[in-house]
Amino acid sequence: MLILVHSLRDLRFGELMEVYADSNREKASDWPNLPHMFALQLAEQDHREYLQDVFFRTGGAVLAVWEENGTYVSALRLEPYKDGLLLNALETAPVHRKKGYASRLIRAVQENMGTVKIYSHVNKRNIPSLKTHEACGFRVISDCAVFLSGSVDYRSCTLLYEG
């Protein structure tokens, strides 16, 4: 079931962190001199602060979560971008991968958003994500990604879904 979240108080944050477990473990490596569990707590705290202080304060931003049997299994963020929305931070909890939840989430978001253009930046080596996007009607439109900050990533490509 699709859940659209517009504020931190409407979110089961601990469950969301289970969805983003791999990203948080990767982020924890930013603090190599700290014990892993403490670094992981800092990564989760950074995630919370980003959502609270930046993401949810951006007009039109929404966190989309796929819930299965009362549990968060997949999530993504949408925020204004160019002439549509940017889909980013698509992730599925490690224990729930390869069950089609990311595709269900994307399709539910597409249905809910109507005819708006949806862009996405995906690392060119992330074949599962590229295939998921393609199966959901996205097509590659650029061989690099230009982020909201203006930075460019040549390891990623930009995809577009035009409804």
Global pTM reads 0.93
CATH code of the domain containing 113: 3.40.630.30
For position 114, what pLDDT does the model report? 86
For position 162, what pLDDT does the model report? 95
Percent of the chain residues topping a pLDDT of 70: 100
Task: Tell me the per-residue pLDDT of 107-146, one tens digit each, with 9 for 90 and over.
Answer: 999 999 988 999 999 999 999 999 999 999 999 999 999 9
Strands 84-92 and 145-146: unpaired
Task: Tell me the per-residue pLDDT of 68-97, one tens digit each, with 9 for 90 and over.
Answer: 999 999 999 999 999 999 999 999 999 999
pLDDT band at 153 (very low <50, low <70, confident <90, very high): very high
Which class for 48: exposed (0-12), middle (13-18), buried (19 or more C-beta within 10 A)? middle
Residue 147 pLDDT greater than 90, yes or no = no
For position 163, what pLDDT does the model report? 80
Range of the domain at 138: 2-161
As for how many domains the chain has, the answer is 1
To which H or E segment does residue 24 belong?
Answer: helix 21-28
